[in-house]
Amino acid sequence: MPNFKDLFEEYSWSATKASIYEKTAGDVERALSNPERSLEDFKALISPAALPYLEQMAQLSHELTLQRFGHTMQLFAPMYLSNECQNICTYCGFSLDNKIKRKTLNDIEIAREVQAIKAMGFEHILLVTGEANQTVGVDYIAHAIKRIRPHFANVSMEVQPLDQEDYEHLIPAGLHSVLVYQETYHEADYKKHHPKGKKSNFHYRLDTPDRLGKAGIHKIGLGTLIGLEDWRVDSFFTALHLAYLEHNYWQTKYSISFPRLRPFSGGLEPKVAMSDKELVQLICAYRLFNQEVELSLSTRETNTFRNHAIKLGITSMSAGSKTNPGGYTVEPQSLEQFEISDERSSDDIKQMLNESGYEAVWKDWDLALECQ
Ligand code: SF4
């Protein structure tokens, strides 16, 4: 059976980094003129040598995105079910060592949050929890999905990595897609940032998309937490992971996200800062590398950046987000996982999209058709 770990172990972090930073203007020009772009082309497009070509990359990225997705933007809202967590993650407000009030939504509270999110017009919900298997294990998640699924066309989740049979149990309950970010592909730094709890198992996390692919999930979301390590190298490994998964699980769809470290209570400073210009470069590079992949941008980014990003290759956005359990109506004052930057409502985002000539898409029509 295929396994990404085997492929990943053929690469060294330092050699990969050197090969990205050695790329020249000639490599970038070749990558731009190639009709199909390889992983070597992707390295050129994320290299410092590509920065003077940003205008051209943005134009190409915009055209490719229009051809595949048209003037549309999928909108979704996160719903935090719990902030209980047995892991220590150095960058997260819900980390076990952060002394905050813990909260897990009960059925009545879930219903109230569902009502609030529906009232904003959303049909796509992203369920988020920490990792606390005693209280927020597979049974809790399955139960929550069954209660929430009738109200939404599309249910995604971003929770702890699970075994293949757990995913096989959750998919028939209504689970459509799973986001599982590797955080960083730098194994030693991964261990530094995840010193305690199940999440400290680098390889179990690395193989999660394989387990999801084998379970037959509709869509897998990949990404790293930008700021933990050199974003160029982490992005190369994300692209490698994407190419591997598309080859082995070709019936599954994929999305990529670009979370940059945001402030939170007791927060970590980014080791490697990424400028707005570099984030634009990365978004365009992914689009030039892969025309099919969904590119998603959260409310971590500012209003101005998000307004401009819609014409760069982004195809999906969260809006009106709350990053705390019960944040919409049950307990709005509880601690957020990270601070939101774009605080506009779903109506404001819809209007901004309309003014830019884009249509807000609330429903994943593929799933609606599948469920008929
Ligand atoms: S990132 Fe996830 S696993 Fe880590 S502390 Fe936060 S909620 Fe827990």
pLDDT, position 137: 96
172 DSSP 8-state letter: H
Confidence (pLDDT) at 266:
54
Dihedral sign, Cα of residue 100, residue 106, residue 108, residue 114: positive
DSSP string, 277-303: HHHHHHHHHHHHH-SSSEEEE-TTS-H
Amino acid letter, residue 15: A
Number of H helices, E strands in the chain: 16, 9
Task: Using the mean position of ligand 1's atoms as its centre, give its distance from the Cα of residue 310 in Å.
Answer: 29
Cα 259 from Cα 262, distance rounded (Å): 8
Global pTM value: 0.95
- Residue 233's beta-bridge partner residues? none
**Ligand 1 pocket, Cβ-based, cut-off 6 angstroms:** 85, 87, 89, 92, 94-95, 130-131, 199
Average confidence (pLDDT) per 10 residues, the chain, 372 residues: 93 98 98 96 98 98 97 96 96 91 96 96 96 95 97 96 98 97 98 96 98 98 96 98 98 96 68 92 98 95 93 94 90 76 91 95 63 40
CA of 119 to the centre of ligand 1 (A): 29
**Distance from Cα 87 to the centre of ligand 1, integer Å:** 6
pLDDT in the model for residue 368: 46
Number of neighbours of residue 201 by Cβ within 10 angstroms: 14
Q: Residue 131: name the closest of 76, 32, 201, 70 by CA.
A: 201
Burial class (CB in 10 A: 0-12, 13-18, 19+), 139: exposed
Ligand 1 closest atom vs CA 85: 8
Q: DSSP assignment, residue 196?
A: B
Contact 251, 8 (CB under 8 A): no
- Residue 370 CB neighbours (<10 A): 10
What is the residue type of 147?
R
Query: What's the Rg (C-alpha) of the chain?
Result: 20
∠ CA(62), CA(67), CA(72), 5° rounding? 75
CA distances from 241 to 14, 39, 40 (A): 18, 11, 14
pLDDT at 367: 47
Q: 3-state class of 110 per DSSP? A: helix
Ligand 1 center from residue 196 Cα (angstroms):
11
Q: Kindly report the protein residue whose alpha carbon is nearest to atom 4 of ligand 1.
A: 89
